[in-house]
Amino acid sequence: MKKVLLGMGALVLLITSLSFTFKKLEPPTQVSGHDAINWITWEQMMEKSKTQPRKVIVDVYTDWCGWCKRMDATTFSDACLSKYINDTYYAVKFDAEQKQDIVFKDKTYKFVKNGMRGYHELAAEMTHGQLSFPTVVFLDEKIDVIQSIPGYRDTKEFETIATYFGRNEHLKTPWETYQKNYTPLSKN
């Protein structure tokens, strides 16, 4: 009888510790309201850029991309980073498989069927044909590509990249120097 009770106690302890372990693995709660990134469409960005030009961050994603969802739940949910992006950039969500035509710089970009899926020509052009997801594309005030950055980036790394382009450091400071001397926004 003692062995059964001891076994039950160990089982309860194991289940309790596992429940705490699983809680630690949950993604952080997404910020909302004032602390969230103000994502807009490509068309909204183009309209706003006519009267108030600013740099643009384009999150090129697909609905099926797990790393895209992870970046939304972690990196793009950081309140300090969100504020910086909202203050410095227009932030655009761009589905790389969207079917809607987009007219941009006197050219019409369309969806191209490719196998079971396909891709949007504008996503391919912004990423220089390197369609991997997520990819974040940084555009200047004239809506020209500065740089496309493929792959998942954690908050610290993405913040460093976003401030590098947002502060125009890419025009005067080598990336390695900027990265080495970077002070996080939360410490400013």
Position 187 scores a pLDDT of: 74
Residue 147 and residue 58 in contact, taking contact as beta carbons nearer than 8 Å: no
- Domain residues for the domain of 56 are 30-187
Tell me, yes or no, whether 4 lies in a domain.
Answer: no
What's the alpha-carbon Rg for the chain, to the nearest Å? 21
Q: Which of 102, 94, 27, 110 minimizes the C-alpha distance to 62?
A: 94
Tell me, yes or no, whether 15 lies in a domain.
Answer: no
Tell me, yes or no, whether 134 lies in a domain.
Answer: yes
Tell me, yes or no, whether 22 lies in a domain.
Answer: no
Angle, helices 79-88/155-166, rounded to nearest 10 degrees:
20
Residue 142 and residue 90 in contact, taking contact as beta carbons nearer than 8 Å: no
Per the omega criterion (within 30 degrees of 0), is the bond before 134 cis? yes
Domain count, the chain: 1
Exposed, middle or buried by CB within 10 Å (0-12, 13-18, 19+), for 55? buried
Exposed, middle or buried by CB within 10 Å (0-12, 13-18, 19+), for 7? exposed
Tell me, yes or no, whether 38 lies in a domain.
Answer: yes
Position 34 scores a pLDDT of: 56
Tell me, yes or no, whether 18 lies in a domain.
Answer: no
Position 76 scores a pLDDT of: 97
Tell me, yes or no, whether 166 lies in a domain.
Answer: yes
Position 50 scores a pLDDT of: 96
β strands within 15-131, DSSP E: 39-40, 55-61, 89-95, 102-104, 107-109, 111-114, 117-120
Tell me, yes or no, whether 100 lies in a domain.
Answer: yes
**Per residue of the chain (188 residues), what is the pLDDT tens digit?**
445 444 545 444 444 443 333 333 333 334 455 579 999 999 999 999 999 999 999 999 999 999 999 999 999 999 999 999 999 999 999 999 999 999 999 999 999 999 899 999 999 999 999 999 999 999 999 999 999 999 999 999 999 999 999 999 999 999 999 999 999 998 76
> Residue 109 belongs to a domain with what CATH number?
3.40.30.10
